[in-house]
C-alpha cells in the first residue's frame, strides 16, 4: 500500500487519463485561467462484493492513509452498496467506493465474477498499484455483453477493473466558474456530451450538493475475441453548499449518485 497520498492520487490520475482523453482537455479548459491547480472534490472506484476484492479491501488503501469512513449508501434498483471516505485535509479528494451485490444476480453472472476474480489474492490487493492495476483477467466481448444485460456496473468492472472511475472537479475551488450551469454550458460549447439522466444538473442547493458529469469516453478494450470501443471513464463537477450549522456538506445524495452511475452506460 502507498504511504504517500499524493503519489497514490497522481498515479490514479495518470491511469485515468490514459483511457479518458476528454478529461485532460476539460482539465485545461477549466483550469487554464487560474494559477493553482484544480482541486478534486472526490474520486470513485468500483468493485464486486466478493469478499477478497470487496469494498473494504479497496478502502484499506485509504484507511492506511488516515481516511475515515463517513457515510453509506444503498442503490436498491442497481443492487449496489457504497461508502464514502474523507481525510482531515479538506483539499484531499473524498473517496466514493461501490460494490456490486453479486448474490442478487443470476447464477451465470455470479459464476463469471467468481471466475475472473479467482486468482486475486492478498498480495495483489495490498500491492501499491492495486487501485490502478486494471483487470487481472481476460474476458471476451461476448461475456461483456452477457454482463451488460444484467448490470452496466458489472460489465464496466469486468472490462476496466481497478482504476478511478471518475475524478470530480470541485466547483467551489474554481476561480472562474460560479455554477455547475456555467461549467455545463462551457463544456457543451466545446463539444462535450453531458450525462442527461435525471437532468443535466443532479441535486439542488436544498440538498447541499449539485453535480453534473460528462458521458464516459468511448475507448478501445482488447477483449479475448477482438478490440471494441466501450465506455471508459467520465469527469464530474460538484458544487457543495453549507449545512444549517455553517459547515460544508461533505456527503453524497443517493438519488443523484444513482444517476451519476449511468455516465458509463453503453450507448
Ligand atoms: C459512482 C457514482 C456516484 C457521485 O458523485 O454521486 C458518484 C460511480 O459511478 O461509480 O460518484
Ligand atoms: Ni462522483
Nearest ligand, CA of residue 164?
A: 1
When pLDDT is cut at 50, 70 and 90, the band that residue 34 belongs to is confident
Ligand 1 mean position to 75 CA, how many Å? 11
pLDDT at 33: 75
Which residue segments constitute the domains of the chain, with CATH numbers given?
Answer: 5-264 (3.10.180.50)
Q: What is the 3-state secondary structure (H, E, C) of 191-242?
A: CCCECCCCCCCEEECCCCEEEEEECCCEEEEEECCEEEEEECCEEEEEEECE
Residue nearest to atom 4 of ligand 1 (CA): 257
The residues near 108 (Cβ < 8 Å, ≥ 6 apart) are 146
DSSP state of 178: -
Dig out the grid coordinates for 84 from the structure. Answer: 464514502
* Alpha-carbon dihedral sign for residues 135, 141, 142, 148: positive
Q: Would you say the ipTM is above 0.95?
A: yes
Q: What are 199-223's pLDDT values in tens digits? A: 999 999 999 999 999 999 999 999 9
Give the pLDDT score at 37.
87
Ligand 1 interacting residues, C-beta cut-off 6 A: 44, 46, 96, 98, 165, 211, 236, 252, 256-257, 260-261
How much distance in Å is there from the Cα of 82 to the middle of ligand 2?
11
The distance of Cα 104 from the centroid of its chain, to the nearest Å, equals 22
Region 159-167: mean pLDDT is 98
In the structure, what pLDDT confidence band is assigned to residue 237 with cuts at 50, 70 and 90? very high
Segment 38-97, tens digit of pLDDT: 999 999 999 999 989 999 999 999 999 999 999 999 999 999 999 999 999 999 999 999
Cα dist from 50 to 114, 203, 223, whole Å: 8, 31, 23
Amino acid at each position: 500500500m502507498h504511504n504517500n497520498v499524493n503519489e497514490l492520487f497522481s498515479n490514479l490520475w495518470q491511469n485515468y487519463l490514459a483511457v479518458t482523453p476528454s478529461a485532460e482537455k476539460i482539465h485545461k479548459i477549466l483550469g487554464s485561467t487560474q494559477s493553482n491547480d484544480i482541486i478534486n472534490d472526490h474520486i470513485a472506484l468500483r468493485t464486486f462484493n466478493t469478499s477478497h476484492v470487496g469494498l473494504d479491501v479497496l478502502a484499506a488503501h485509504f484507511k492506511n492513509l488516515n481516511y475515515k469512513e463517513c457515510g453509506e449508501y444503498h442503490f436498491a434498483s442497481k443492487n449496489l452498496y457504497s461508502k464514502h471516505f474523507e481525510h482531515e485535509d479538506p483539499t484531499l479528494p473524498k473517496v466514493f467506493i461501490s460494490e456490486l451485490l453479486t448474490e442478487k444476480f443470476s447464477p451465470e453472472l455470479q459464476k463469471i465474477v467468481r471466475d475472473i476474480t479467482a486468482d486475486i489474492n492478498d498480495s495483489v490487493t495490498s500491492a501499491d498499484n492495486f487501485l490502478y492495476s486494471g483487470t487481472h483477467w481476460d474476458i471476451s466481448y461476448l461475456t461483456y455483453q452477457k454482463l451488460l444485460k444484467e448490470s452496466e456496473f458489472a460489465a464496466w468492472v469486468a472490462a476496466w477493473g481497478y482504476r478511478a472511475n471518475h475524478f470530480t472537479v470541485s466547483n467551489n475551488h474554481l476561480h472562474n466558474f460560479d455554477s455547475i450551469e456555467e461549467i455545463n454550458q462551457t463544456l457543451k460549447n466545446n463539444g462535450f456530451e453531458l450525462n442527461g439522466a435525471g437532468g443535466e444538473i443532479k441535486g439542488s442547493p436544498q440538498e447541499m450538493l449539485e453535480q453534473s458529469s460528462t458521458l464516459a469516453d468511448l475507448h478501445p478494450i482488447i477483449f479475448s475475441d477482438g478490440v471494441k470501443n466501450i465506455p471508459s471513464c467520465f469527469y464530474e463537477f460538484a458544487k457543495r453548499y453549507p449545512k444549517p450549522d455553517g459547515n460544508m456538506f461533505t456527503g453524497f445524495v443517493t438519488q443523484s449518485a444513482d444517476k451519476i452511475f449511468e455516465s458509463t452506460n453503453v450507448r
